[in-house]
């Protein structure tokens, strides 16, 4: 039996709700249907938008799966039903969505991967703020910490990413007319995420990402380029470590660099750490793996020496570390491993990742 060819993934991406991602996706679904493609709607979230609802008319819908959770019934995409129906293509709205507990998979993008592995093409939607490596930048721009994210490697594996654009002024006009949300929710949105300055900054971020996606697909970074750049990020129990991992991943993607996430422990494992620290380090290592960074636990009593030695053996060119506590206090700073790394790694670039407060509005 011939091996099943993987389905193709097309992502319609925007910078905010209401720019027209779902409408554009449904428009393409109709074009595919008219061309004779067997296409179904696996999940569609209309948000009460009448023009989008009208655009879904005439397409075949696969009924949602109902899941009981804490005395309430929720509806999720029925991946098994779509697999049983096995269309050529499937429309799946809201790619970053977190499934209700009790679902076979935690995230909708994981459900989409199941469909792709079964040879089904998928059209889906997401906003730029849900891209994992941009999480800190979005927080800095908007003051909103986005909780539902998609790992960058998932988006990079897409066969096509279409940026659906609308000027912030036009989007705000749609919002005020009640096209995006009902009027009460629209008023709240205008006070928070939908400030014009926030939308302008998010749109610029989205356009830069679109340019990066084009460059990534055209250049198809060579193995030789990857050999010139290797990045290491030091993993600790510090909660800011997740920010350093995102930043390292983001830079790695632009440079076409291999990335390592390493932690240093005297025992070579995490058993010697207090439970809260062990859980934090494990969480950060798992987060790094999810972003496709190679993780290592190095054995050693001297964090700086172990990190720099590993860096030299693996031709690392940049080391990402969290800004140490006690930065303003010279004795504390002098004892910090970061200061020692800076002293030892004269042949590498040290990037100290510091926290930034959101832009005040």
pLDDT at position 196, please? Answer: 85
- The CATH code that applies to domain 223-353 is 3.40.50.620
- Give the confidence band of 10 by pLDDT, cuts at 50, 70, 90: very high
The pLDDT score that the predictor gives to residue 179 is 80
Query: Is CATH 3.40.50.300 the classification given to domain 9-219?
Result: yes
Tokens of 12: 């319609």
Radius of gyration of the chain from Cα atoms?
A: 23
Mean pLDDT score across all residues of the chain: 85
Question: For 124-142, what is the mean pLDDT?
Answer: 90
Q: Output the pTM of the full model.
A: 0.68
Alpha-carbon torsion (148, 151, 152, 157), positive or negative: negative
Q: Domain boundaries in the chain?
A: 9-219, 223-353
For residue 206, give the 3-state DSSP assignment: helix
Q: 78 vs 42, 43, 278, 306, CA distance in Å?
A: 7, 8, 37, 48
Confidence of residue 359 (pLDDT cuts 50, 70, 90): very low
Q: Using CA atoms, how far apart are residues 110 and 77, in angstroms rounded to an integer?
A: 12
Of the candidate ranges 150-164, 264-278, 327-341, the one whose mean pLDDT is the lowest: 327-341
Q: Return d(Cα 145, Cα 259) in angstroms, integer.
A: 25
**Nearest CA among 340, 240, 244, 334 for reference residue 280:** 240
Asked if residue 284 lies in contact with residue 296, where contact means CB atoms within 8 angstroms, the answer is: no
What does the alpha-carbon distance between residue 278 and residue 235 come to, in Å, rounded to a whole number? 11
Torsion of CA 7, 13, 17, 18, to 10 degrees: -90
Strand order in the sheet with 258-265: 294-299, 258-265, 230-234, 318-322, 349-353
pLDDT of residue 46: 85
């Amino acid at each position: 039996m011939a091996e099943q060819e993987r389905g193709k993934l097309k992502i319609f991406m925007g910078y905010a709700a209401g720019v027209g991602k779902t409408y554009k996706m449904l428009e393409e679904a109709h074009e595919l249907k008219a061309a004779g493609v067997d296409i179904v709607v696996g999940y569609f979230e209309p948000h009460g938008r009448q023009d989008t609802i009208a655009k879904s008319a005439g397409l075949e819908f696969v009924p949602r799966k109902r899941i009981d959770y804490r005395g309430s019934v929720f509806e999720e995409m029925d991946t098994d039903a779509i697999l049983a129906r096995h269309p050529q293509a499937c429309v799946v709205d809201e790619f970053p969505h977190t499934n209700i507990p009790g679902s076979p998979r935690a995230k909708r993008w994981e459900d989409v991967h199941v469909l792709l592995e079964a040879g089904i093409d998928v059209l889906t939607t997401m906003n730029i703020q849900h891209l994992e490596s941009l999480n800190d930048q979005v927080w800095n721009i908007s003051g909103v910490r986005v909780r539902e994210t998609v790992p960058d490697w998932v988006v990079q594996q897409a066969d096509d990413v279409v940026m659906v654009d609308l000027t912030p002024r036009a989007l705000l006009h749609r919002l005020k007319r009640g096209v995006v949300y009902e009027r009460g929710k629209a008023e709240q949105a205008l006070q928070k995420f939908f400030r014009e300055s926030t939308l302008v900054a998010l749109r610029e971020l989205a356009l830069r990402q679109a340019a990066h996606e084009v460059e990534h697909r055209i250049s198809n970074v060579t193995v030789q380029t990857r050999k010139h750049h290797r990045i290491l990020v030091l993993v600790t129990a510090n909660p800011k470590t997740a920010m350093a991992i995102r930043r390292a991943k983001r830079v790695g993607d632009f440079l076409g660099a291999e990335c390592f996430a390493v932690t240093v422990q005297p025992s070579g494992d995490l058993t010697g750490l207090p439970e809260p620290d062990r859980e934090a380090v494990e969480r950060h290592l798992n987060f790094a793996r999810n972003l496709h960074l190679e993780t290592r636990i190095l054995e050693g009593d001297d964090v700086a020496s172990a990190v720099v030695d590993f860096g030299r053996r693996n031709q690392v060119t940049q080391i990402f570390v969290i800004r140490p506590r006690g930065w303003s206090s010279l004795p504390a700073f002098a004892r910090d491993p970061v200061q020692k790394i800076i002293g030892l790694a004269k042949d590498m670039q040290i990037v100290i990742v510091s926290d930034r407060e959101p832009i005040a509005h």
